[in-house]
Structure 1
Amino acid sequence: MHVWLRWCCRALVSLSWVIVYPLTYLLSIRRNRKCPPPANPLLMKSATTLVSMIAKRQVTSEEVVSAYIDRCKEVNPYLNAIVEPRYDAALREARYIDKMVASNEKTPEQLMKEFPLLGVPMTVKESIAVEGMSNDCGTVYPVRNPAKKDADIVKRARAAGAIPIAVTNTPQLCMNWETYNNVTGLTMNPYDQKRTTGGSSGGECALLASAASVIGVGSDIAGSLRLPPMFNGVFGHKPTPRLLSVEGHNPDCLDPEFEEYFALGPMVRYAEDLTLMLRVLRHPSGPQVPLEKPVDIKRLKFYYMEYDESYITNKIGPDVKKAFDKARAYMKHTHGIEVEKLKIKNVGDMFEISVRVLFNIQHIKNIYTDPQNRTGWVSLWPNVLKKMFGLSDHSLTAVCYGVVKKFFDTLPKSSYNNIVKQFEEIKQDFDRALSDDAVLLFPTYPAPAHLHYRVFSKFLNCGYLTIFNCLGLPATACPMGLTDSGLPVGLQIVANKNNDHLTIAVAKEFEMAFGGWVPPNKQSMITIKTA
């Protein structure tokens, strides 16, 4: 990385730290309410199990949907994760499914094959269109402008029998690793209200973690299918590029290269539901990923990297180190597999490469996009000045995006071309190392969820995430239990392109070994069951 860029980044972080740390401490003092634990046993079953129960008439879709609606109403005052509910419509759709199941002569197996998500409730990140629901993605508008039709993945989920019950909170135009906007406000972590849910899929993960949702969908161009799952102790999967259609997402982009780095994907509480979701949501013209192919864990090669070697991100802390040690010890003692350290030449430059490559994407819809000309921009300075004087309805990160984008656009093209050459070499090295029979264990973030807004002094650590957007590799965020202070911790499982089935298979193995998702306030839940 260029020395001047490294110096500038570290100086900016140091300045932010001085401002952010005392302020965030003061803002967090009064956030001390505990999210109630789930009590309804239906909330503790995977989507895969619920589909089977509904098909076998052991429970009705209306009972399941009602249980999740009640749970949403119970926890949302603690979380502020829901932008807009669709409870009445969801119950009508559940009753329709129940009538269809009751009057159908098909066997449960036939029903499950035809409707893989039969009668199961789901939640959807607000940036992904659900017909009739808010799709403004945290942006203040003078009038409501609901989605005119479902996004492609929502359409596929509904055709498979899923029932959307709510759209969930996201930062404005998905441009932050903290879920806050000037419409819905701040979303809080169900394990500790003082702490962030991450972003930009933070509302979705808060509902999942609190057992107010069982399956959901989000988006990812800089870690949004992995950082919120890490902070909330659930599973998320950034798929191989183009496996799922991105049609119907706000913001969209006119650059044909956008889909090489941006993805929609599933987030779930139970690892088995990742395969189920990808089977349903995948686009017919997407890459051939063998999701149904059995994976023999003992025949895989396992690698790990505990640091991105950029010397600009923080090294992992003790909680994440403990998660790595657990994973490596388990593979060695259970399967006799030595997890080897992976060395990739020049991987330390991937921070700068990721930033430059992602900011080189053109025509992403943002607050500066000219409404009369999608390829043009309006002037930066009115929005910047309004923000400086507290007169803007836009978030700080949405305003700063334009300034940073213009800065990178002014850098010499020759330096970018040199970066691209180095980038191609690194991609080839990863391709050779991972081949079709290996997975890489990699940090999601150096530490568990921090206090709200502290991402402004920790944003460089998101280099742990953007590296795999840039490389276009599938990555599964896998929970590895709770820290001593009760916060979720996890890691990323990465594989080569089109090998999503490998990362999910390892996630299932780790879920079996370490327990996967743990309900918030689990001790209170045990007390309720015992009472």
Structure 2
Amino acid sequence: TSYESAVSEARLVDRRVRHELDSGLPLTGQSIREQPLLGIPFTAKDSFSVKGMPWTSGLYARKGITAPVDSEVITRLRDAGAIFIGLTNVPELIMWWHSTNILYGRTNNPYDRSRIPGGSSGGECALIASGGSLMGIGSDIGGSIREPSYFCGIFGHKTTNGVVSTMGIYPMFGESKQRLLAVGPFCRYAVDLKPMLKVMSGSNASKLKFDKTVDLNTIKVYYMEGHNNPGISPLQPEVRHSLNQCVDYLRNKCRDCERIYLKELELGFDIWMCAMTDPTAPTLEQELANLKGRINPYVELVKSLLGVSNITFPSIISCFDDLITGLSSEQYFKFLKKLRLELSEKLHKILGDDGVFVYPGHPETAPKHNGTVLKVKNISYTCVFNTLDVAITSVPLGLSTDGLPIGVQIITNPFNDHLSIAVAEELERGFGGWTPPAAIIC
């Protein structure tokens, strides 16, 4: 099992460390100094292939399927000495913003079990926030790193697209969707982000400029207090207050702070849905059948209402979303594509080489279970940025009066990951970072 294997690896690490410290020579032919993450335990969401482990992506139709090999990012972490200890729960096909499926059940938010941990990396973030794993890896095609990080009060980083390999992730998205997908790390302490990313990005690590010293006094901060789309939940007062506290803190640390309003973000959900539309890729009905035929969403909807479907209600409803999207006018799609390009160009120009954009991670704190379908457009706060070619760090800023995590996204131009992480480290010093959901007994 994964546990027994992890214990065996840990014992070998202990022997290697003791032998090399005593004799000055490596026990296995490789020095402990060549492995920067030696002995550190990590977990991964159940969409990454880990040899011999279940590889279901939360889909009941994939029950019993195991991964034949490690995904590339798992290999890199293991080569650096990290010890894999387990897989964590996801929604079906990693395509919803809770972490519930028929195969493994529901993951709860560690700060309030009546609420979601976010998705699709909610299992990872709930476990790390609870102290059950030191670090983890996730993927992000519409907020799947940032939303659960926000809801569970830990640090997560959506890396510049293409820097960390996405090989070995299921489902294997079509070309259009693949361009929106990024892999990144989770951790409780901001200082752990850079060493993880240096390993995860392999030969691309130098592109992220982590060895460059960041002077906060040279950084220009832009911020925006949400947007005014009436179809999306308004920004909760405590979320707004936390964002403004964050900006006030940075005002005394950085070169300047400027409030802006990007009206295009009001259509962020539509921009993302347009970018996710790929007529050459399998349909959701096919994916839910594990590419062996297709499900009938009308039949599954009735079965779901009767409590006998092997597919969750949000996934079934999403099939109808696909039908609605398919009926959207070509003219509206052309408008959204043009708007996306204009917004990307505008944001890149604003940020330049030394700018960061502070934006809410979500308009609300973690919602209740079964409350995600009617609020699906709230994910516009994260998903639109997958279409804009940026790097983003999710930063916790403490807890609400209800004891729920609140945070912000720190957004930078591509390959300026070092800037958003430097700001995250500073905000951790100012606001305390991760707050345990309960007393942690070591």
TM over 0.5: yes
- CA offsets, 1:169-209, max 9 Å, x none? 11111121111111111111211222211111111111100
- CA offsets, 1:209-268, max 9 Å, x none? 011111001111111101111111100111111111111111112x22333211121111
State yes or no: 1:306 paired with 2:222: no
Matching residue of 1:276 = 195
Change (3 A) 1:103 1:165: same
Contact 2:50 2:67 in 1 (8 A): yes
- CA offsets, 1:79-114, max 9 Å, x none? xxxxxx72111011111222222333269xx95651
Change (3 A) 1:373 1:319: closer
- CA offsets, 1:307-358, max 9 Å, x none? 13433322211221221122122122x3264421123353323332122222
Alpha-carbon offset, residue 370 of structure 1: 9.4
Matching residue of 2:352 = 435
- CA offsets, 1:64-91, max 9 Å, x none? xxxxxxxxxxxxxxxxxxxxx7211101
Change (3 A) 1:331 1:286: closer
Alpha-carbon offset, residue 399 of structure 1: 2.1
Matching residue of 2:243 = 324
Q: Choose which of 258, 263, 277 in structure 2 pairs with 1:359.
A: 277
Change (3 A) 1:349 1:175: closer
State yes or no: 1:236 paired with 2:156: yes
Matching residue of 2:130 = 210
Instruction: Find the aligned partners of 2:12 and 2:33 in 1 and give their Cα distance.
Output: 18
Matching residue of 1:497 = 414
Instruction: Find the aligned partners of 1:161 and 1:403 in 2 and give their Cα distance.
Output: 45
**Pairwise mapping of residues 327-338 of structure 1 onto structure 2 (< 5 A)?**
327-332=246-251, 334-335=252-253, 337-338=255-256
Q: Choose which of 424, 427, 430 in structure 1 pairs with 2:341.
A: 424
Contact 1:345 1:426 in 2 (8 A): no
Instruction: Find the aligned partners of 1:412 and 1:435 in 2 and give their Cα distance.
Output: 35
Q: Choose which of 333, 339, 349 in structure 1 pairs with 2:267.
A: 349
Q: Choose which of 5, 13, 30 in structure 2 pairs with 1:97.
A: 13
Matching residue of 2:286 = 368
Contact 2:59 2:288 in 1 (8 A): no
State yes or no: 1:181 paired with 2:101: yes
Matching residue of 1:397 = 314
Instruction: Find the aligned partners of 2:128 and 2:121 in 1 and give their Cα distance.
Output: 11
Instruction: Find the aligned partners of 1:371 and 1:485 in 2 and give their Cα distance.
Output: 40
Instruction: Find the aligned partners of 2:227 and 2:181 in 1 and give their Cα distance.
Output: 21
Contact 1:126 1:167 in 2 (8 A): yes
Alpha-carbon offset, residue 382 of structure 1: 4.3
**Pairwise mapping of residues 452-491 of structure 1 onto structure 2 (< 5 A)?**
452-491=369-408
**Pairwise mapping of residues 46-57 of structure 1 onto structure 2 (< 5 A)?**
none
Alpha-carbon offset, residue 473 of structure 1: 1.2
Instruction: Find the aligned partners of 2:254 and 2:312 in 1 and give their Cα distance.
Output: 50
Instruction: Find the aligned partners of 2:33 and 2:354 in 1 and give their Cα distance.
Output: 30
State yes or no: 1:508 paired with 2:439: no
Q: Choose which of 84, 92, 95 in structure 2 pairs with 1:164.
A: 84
Contact 1:260 1:472 in 2 (8 A): no
Instruction: Find the aligned partners of 1:480 and 1:361 in 2 and give their Cα distance.
Output: 41
Structure 1, unmatched stretches of 5+, are 1-84
- CA offsets, 1:447-486, max 9 Å, x none? 2222222122222111101111111211111000112222
Instruction: Find the aligned partners of 1:207 and 1:372 in 2 and give their Cα distance.
Output: 28
Matching residue of 1:131 = 51
SS at match of 1:414: helix
Instruction: Find the aligned partners of 2:48 and 2:217 in 1 and give their Cα distance.
Output: 38
Letter in 1 for 2:257: V
Contact 2:219 2:254 in 1 (8 A): no
Percent of pairs with identical residues: 34
- CA offsets, 1:133-180, max 9 Å, x none? 111021224851111111111111001001111100111111211111
- CA offsets, 1:390-438, max 9 Å, x none? 4320112222232222321233333312321222111110111011110
Instruction: Find the aligned partners of 1:514 and 1:414 in 2 and give their Cα distance.
Output: 46
Instruction: Find the aligned partners of 2:33 and 2:279 in 1 and give their Cα distance.
Output: 40
SS at match of 2:208: coil
Letter in 2 for 1:318: P
Matching residue of 1:35 = none
Change (3 A) 1:458 1:369: closer
Change (3 A) 1:111 1:263: same
Instruction: Find the aligned partners of 1:440 and 1:484 in 2 and give their Cα distance.
Output: 26
Instruction: Find the aligned partners of 1:285 and 1:295 in 2 and give their Cα distance.
Output: 19
Instruction: Find the aligned partners of 1:373 and 1:172 in 2 and give their Cα distance.
Output: 14
Change (3 A) 1:331 1:297: same
Alpha-carbon offset, residue 362 of structure 1: 4.5
Change (3 A) 1:367 1:106: farther
Contact 1:173 1:366 in 2 (8 A): no
SS at match of 1:491: strand
Instruction: Find the aligned partners of 2:213 and 2:421 in 1 and give their Cα distance.
Output: 11
Matching residue of 1:60 = none
Structure 2, unmatched stretches of 5+, are none
Contact 2:62 2:290 in 1 (8 A): no
SS at match of 2:60: coil
- CA offsets, 1:259-307, max 9 Å, x none? 3211121111110111111100015368922122211111000000111
Of 191-200 and 162-171, the range deviating more from structure 2: 191-200
Contact 1:310 1:350 in 2 (8 A): no
Number of residue-to-residue matches in the alignment: 436
Contact 1:239 1:475 in 2 (8 A): yes
The RMSD of aligned alpha carbons is: 2.5
Contact 1:179 1:199 in 2 (8 A): yes
